[in-house]
């Protein structure tokens, strides 16, 4: 199958979270397809909490690689029409066109010409990757010196950094009273508001704050505030959800220290739950980045570098892995009319295949 046709075919599977049948269908399709390309490839399936991942590799039971291609086949929800891919004005339009089924199609078809590579496909990137990449790295002992992960921001930007995140739920403990007599109670919603204002003001004084996608600075955002039952009642409990994003200079420990420092000033507030995502950083001087740059220069592609505000599965790979992330021209990721430029997509396929060839079998 031509790569563009394959990309369209992959987009048709409605692989959104919990749509288990579609994940089964797409993997069935991929397995049959790969064996048509090359009967000698091994396909290993892994499962964690119903999330399936697949490793396509020329050597059975291989777990240590120099080059591992990686991608996710899940997509974020979309109206039905986005699962019927269209070609319009030189663009392939559909859910997953940019993020990242076109790239998956390129990586699958790369086995037509190469067998220096292995490919890991997972199905839970959009919901955090805990049962996909994280599980495979931690529980299946898979490792690679270089991971080629064509995810992230399109437009030929090699990703050098992704921020880490800290998602926190803070709870306030107050005392309820009648809304007409607030002096008899202790308003938990007020406690939350005061706490957040303090949190934000200290955060803004402590760190350089992000003002655009790729300045590599830090950010804080109040995601949800919840509390109270009725207008005329002082709430006893309230909670807020806060999204912190931080660079590798701050790190997890820096974030934890910061949060504790502010909590110490607010004894009525407790950190109830939190989840954490590591930062990702790859050195510009890495030989795996240089190799890719050489190919991009040869192909006269106007490429650049990028620091990303968001996170991806790249964060689950160990710190000494060089994760190489690049995508060609495309847009509207996670939005309506997600697209990828078809000409650039062809160029990208050439780049990917050349890149694979620079690795020994």
Those residues whose C-beta lies under 8 Å from the C-beta of residue 14, and which sit 6 or more positions away, are: 22, 83
In this structure, how many other beta carbons lie within 10 angstroms of the beta carbon of residue 139? 11
Stretch that binds Zn ion, among 16-24, 27-35, 94-102, 320-328 (CB under 5 A): 94-102
- Phi and psi torsions of 182, nearest 5°: -60, -25
Which tokens go with 236?
Answer: 């006893």
Residue 125 DSSP one-character state: G
Nearest approach in angstroms of CB 259 to Zn ion is 29
Residue number with CB closer to Zn ion (333 or 353): 333
Those residues whose C-beta lies under 8 Å from the C-beta of residue 290, and which sit 6 or more positions away, are: none
99 binds Zn ion (CB under 5 A): yes
Residue number with CB closer to Zn ion (129 or 164): 129
Residue number with CB closer to Zn ion (100 or 240): 100
Which residue in the set 151, 161, 162, 344 belongs to the binding site for Zn ion (CB under 5 A)?
151
For Zn ion, how many residues bind (rule: CB under 5 A)? 3
Nearest approach in angstroms of CB 102 to Zn ion is 11
First-to-last C-alpha distance (Å) of the chain: 25
Residue number with CB closer to Zn ion (125 or 171): 125
Alpha-helix residue ranges (DSSP H) falling in the chain: 3-12, 20-37, 101-109, 133-139, 188-206, 251-265, 287-298, 342-357
In this structure, how many other beta carbons lie within 10 angstroms of the beta carbon of residue 9? 17
Stretch that binds Zn ion, among 53-61, 145-153, 192-200, 276-284 (CB under 5 A): 145-153
Per-residue interface string for the shown chain with Zn ion, residues 9-48, x marking contact by CB under 5 A = ----------------------------------------
Stretch that binds Zn ion, among 83-91, 146-154, 260-268, 352-360 (CB under 5 A): 146-154
Instruction: Report the interface residues with Zn ion, using CB under 5 A.
Output: 99-100, 151
């Amino acid at each position: 199958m031509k790569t563009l046709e394959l990309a369209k075919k992959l987009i048709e599977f409605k692989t959104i979270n919990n749509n288990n049948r579609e994940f089964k269908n797409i993997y069935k399709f991929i397995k049959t397809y790969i064996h048509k390309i090359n009967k000698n490839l091994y396909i290993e399936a892994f499962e964690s909490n119903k999330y399936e991942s697949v490793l396509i590799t020329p050597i059975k039971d291989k777990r240590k690689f120099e080059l591992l291609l990686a991608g996710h086949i899940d997509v974020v929800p979309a109206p039905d029409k986005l699962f019927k891919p269209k070609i319009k004005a030189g663009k392939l339009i559909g859910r997953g066109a940019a993020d990242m089924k076109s790239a998956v199609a390129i990586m699958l078809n790369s086995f037509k010409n190469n067998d220096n590579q292995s490919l890991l496909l997972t199905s839970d990137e959009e919901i955090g990757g805990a049962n996909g990449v994280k599980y495979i790295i931690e529980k299946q002992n898979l490792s690679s010196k270089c991971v080629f992960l064509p995810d992230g921001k399109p437009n030929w930007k090699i990703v050098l950094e992704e921020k880490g995140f800290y998602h926190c739920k803070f709870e306030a403990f107050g005392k309820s009273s009648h809304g007409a007599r607030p002096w008899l109670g202790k308003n938990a919603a007020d406690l939350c508001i005061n706490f957040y204002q303090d949190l934000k003001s200290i955060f803004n004084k402590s760190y350089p704050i992000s003002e655009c996608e790729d300045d590599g600075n830090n950010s804080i955002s109040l995601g949800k505030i919840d509390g109270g039952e009725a207008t005329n009642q002082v709430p006893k409990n309230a909670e807020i959800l806060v999204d912190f994003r931080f660079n590798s200079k701050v790190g997890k420990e820096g974030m934890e220290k910061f949060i504790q420092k502010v909590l110490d000033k607010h004894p009525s507030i407790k950190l109830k739950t939190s989840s954490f995502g590591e930062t990702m950083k790859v050195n510009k001087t890495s030989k795996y980045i240089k190799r890719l740059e050489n190919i991009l220069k040869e192909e006269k592609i106007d490429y650049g570098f990028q620091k990303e505000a968001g996170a991806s599965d790249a964060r689950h790979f160990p710190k000494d892995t060089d994760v190489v992330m690049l995508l060609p021209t495309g847009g509207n990721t996670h939005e309506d009319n997600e697209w990828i430029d078809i000409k650039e997509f062809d160029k990208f396929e050439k780049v990917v295949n050349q890149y694979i060839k620079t690795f020994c079998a």
